Structure 1
Amino acid sequence: MPRMTMIEAIRSGLDVSMARNDDVVVYGEDVGFFGGVFRCTQGLQQKYGVSRCFDAPISECGIVGTAIGMAAYGLRPCVELQFADYMYPAYDQIVSEAARLRYRSAGDFTCPLVIRMPTGGGIFGGQTHSQSPEALFTHVAGLKTVVPSNPHDAKGLLIAAIEDPDPVIFLEPKRLYNGPFDGHHDRPVTAWAKHELSEVPEGHYTTPLGKAVTRRAGEAVTVLTYGTMVHVALAAVEETGVDAEVIDLRTLLPLDLETIIASVARTGRCIVLHEATLTSGFGAELTALVQEHCFYHLEAPVMRVTGWDTPYPHAQEWDYFPGPIRLGQALRDIMETR
């Protein structure tokens, strides 16, 4: 089985999908000839031609708007917005058109559309290249929201998203693009360290949407997280020695509530970890759900470890990130709470 970075796995997922279905169309800013700013689509235009993989004008509203029309017509567009921060001009199209097409047409039309976006920090991109806007999508009925944490899941989830009949927001953590992030360090010197790459099957397979996975079993506390923060959680648990269960949500909407409830009901404690800001972040929804469904099992209040409630800081990027130090302190604190 070949070993791939997340970039290579995403490229493989696109390649497999385009080979299996002529209706799959890939486009976006610099996606065609250039192969994307992160090279996720490199070589696809040469292989499938300019009618199936092509560059689009710098117009996120135009990219998403035309993709909605293609999807309603019967194609399966998979478009790339260069950074998640750039999606705001297209947000009205995503919310008012893509998410509601099935409902407003009483099922006569569907919108099998995937919108890929690099998300989060790790490249010193500042506040216009490093945002984590997942909560803006999970609030919208009619959308699915996916955040992979490793190359194997990235490929399987992407193929599943392309084959899904409804619109899927596919958020790709930039810090995981070029190799597994070991999660142990709060400083940038090793954040892009290329350790052993992940094994990823070459052919077609899918990772089910709406199904979380337990990355580490534990009995003392449940850590709910996704994307880059999965690796931070595993590192913090290793460093503190707390017997924590780490749940990788993978899909934020639809959410695997069954797995969450089963874990928290058993451990009696819960920490929610994500890179986005604290206030109204997706962790607030997770906290509310845990409180609603596990109240009588909880031995301590649910804790959140997140980014700061500030515009994304350029110079303080690595202090902004929740790292093993901050999560480790939260793990120790919650274990001392009775």
Structure 2
Amino acid sequence: MTDASDGLTMVDAINRALHEAMAEDDSTAVMGQDVGVNGGVFRVTEGLIDDYGAARVIDTPLAESGIVGLAIGMAMNGARPIAEMQFSGFSYYALAQIENHAARIRWRTRGAHTVPLVIRMPYGAGVRALEHHSESREVFYGHMPGLKTVIPATPARAHALLHAAIRDPDPVIFMEPKAVYRQMREPIADDAEPAQIGTSRVVRRGKDLTLVSYGAMLHRALEAAETLAAEDIDIEVIDIETIAPLDAETIAKSVGQTGRLLIVNEAPPSYGAAGEIAMRVIEQEFYALRVPIRRVCGWDVHVPFFAREQTYLPSVDRIRGAARGMMAD
């Protein structure tokens, strides 16, 4: 297990959470392509097979539907499996298993069976990856009843949220922003507590504008907020952490005080999480809004390769420009 004394990257933090969960509960198992001998494509599962053996750290064939199908069966029979999709763009091969079975078993059996399953998947752009490696399709999973969809933004939150996901009685989609995998380090206490799924965090207090984000884009949102402070624009920043269930109350409470809402995510804007967040706030705090809600997202195109990838992603300048425009209205 990685030493926490110098702070952990997100890769280290997730690896530590996996080690801890497997040490605490013999029913916990990890499975996926190359998770064992090779330690995973990003080395997130490194060292697990040495400590817990091939019976609990299972190298599977390259078959996402098979990986998830196996994990569902294990979960229904008393195990707590953690299945890895090498990239979120490959998880679509398992959508039938996720939607038709994992998300429906509790409902289908009227609560007689649950599926305590975690499906981990690196997602998002910003690392100059190839096609099918950079998507941000969290809305697919957030739209499915019966699933919980979690996206951490920092190493400490990844550690706390993964523990919560593993302990949850229902299936959890755990999406890891790979642009943050080794971007930063953060100390994690030996006695760190699990997070609470379905709760947003106010990570910066402010009075002029509410800025909502998650995953890798949270860091750009925070950078924009810090630089705008020099212009006497005081921004409150919220990390939603959980796409589903969405903690709209924390966001609405903030907007009730600031009167302005700006949403930042890297997914395409059409039919996305930003639109859902905006609608929830309209339903709860419409009369508090001083200006129209705005969103800074990716574009309604596939993520471009390499040279134009950063043009696709929301930039700090785009976020600042949107915030300035809202303050001027």
Q: Secondary structure at the match of 2:194?
A: coil
2:262 is matched with which residue? 271
Residue identity over aligned pairs, in percent, reads 45
Q: Secondary structure at the match of 1:275?
A: coil
Deviation by residue 1:115-135 (Cα, 9 ceiling, x = unmatched):
000010122113310001100
1:215 lines up with 2:219 in the alignment? no
- Give the letter for the 1:319 counterpart: T
Once the two structures are TM-superposed, the CA of residue 179 in structure 1 deviates from its matched residue by 2.8
- Partners of 2:225 and 2:113 in 1: CA distance: 47
* C-alpha contact 2:29 2:82 (8 A) present in aligned 1: yes
Deviation by residue 1:25-79 (Cα, 9 ceiling, x = unmatched):
0010110000000000000001000000121111000000110010011100001
1:317 is matched with which residue? 309
1:42 lines up with 2:42 in the alignment? no
1:334 lines up with 2:326 in the alignment? yes
- Give the letter for the 1:266 counterpart: Q
1:72 lines up with 2:76 in the alignment? yes
Return 119-128 or 296-305, whichever deviates more.
119-128
Once the two structures are TM-superposed, the CA of residue 201 in structure 1 deviates from its matched residue by 2.1
Return 42-51 or 248-257, whichever deviates more.
248-257
2:106 is matched with which residue? 102
1:206 is matched with which residue? 194
Q: Secondary structure at the match of 2:174?
A: strand
Deviation by residue 1:273-313 (Cα, 9 ceiling, x = unmatched):
00111111111101111111110000011101000110111
Once the two structures are TM-superposed, the CA of residue 205 in structure 1 deviates from its matched residue by 2.5
TM-score by length of 1: 0.93
* C-alpha contact 1:126 1:312 (8 A) present in aligned 2: no
* C-alpha contact 1:272 1:303 (8 A) present in aligned 2: yes
Deviation by residue 1:208-253 (Cα, 9 ceiling, x = unmatched):
1111111100000101110111110010112222211000001111
Q: Secondary structure at the match of 1:296?
A: helix
Q: Secondary structure at the match of 2:49?
A: helix
TM-score by length of 2: 0.96
Runs of 4+, deviation exceeding 4 Å: none
Unaligned runs of 5+ in 2: none
Deviation by residue 1:150-173 (Cα, 9 ceiling, x = unmatched):
011101100110000000000000
1:285 lines up with 2:276 in the alignment? yes
Of 239, 250, 263, the residue aligned with 2:227 is 239
Q: Secondary structure at the match of 1:45?
A: helix
- Partners of 2:144 and 2:77 in 1: CA distance: 23
* C-alpha contact 2:248 2:277 (8 A) present in aligned 1: no
Q: Secondary structure at the match of 2:179?
A: helix
* C-alpha contact 2:260 2:326 (8 A) present in aligned 1: yes
- Partners of 1:113 and 1:255 in 2: CA distance: 20
- Give the letter for the 1:100 counterpart: R
1:306 lines up with 2:297 in the alignment? yes
Q: Secondary structure at the match of 1:77?
A: strand
Q: Secondary structure at the match of 1:224?
A: strand
* C-alpha contact 1:232 1:323 (8 A) present in aligned 2: yes
* C-alpha contact 1:101 1:111 (8 A) present in aligned 2: yes
- Give the letter for the 2:216 counterpart: T
- Partners of 1:202 and 1:43 in 2: CA distance: 19
2:248 is matched with which residue? 257
- Partners of 1:201 and 1:84 in 2: CA distance: 30
Unaligned runs of 5+ in 1: 181-196
2:178 is matched with which residue? 174
Q: Secondary structure at the match of 1:205?
A: coil
RMSD: 1.0
- Give the letter for the 2:193 counterpart: Y
* C-alpha contact 1:28 1:79 (8 A) present in aligned 2: yes
Aligned length, in residue pairs: 321
* C-alpha contact 2:211 2:261 (8 A) present in aligned 1: yes
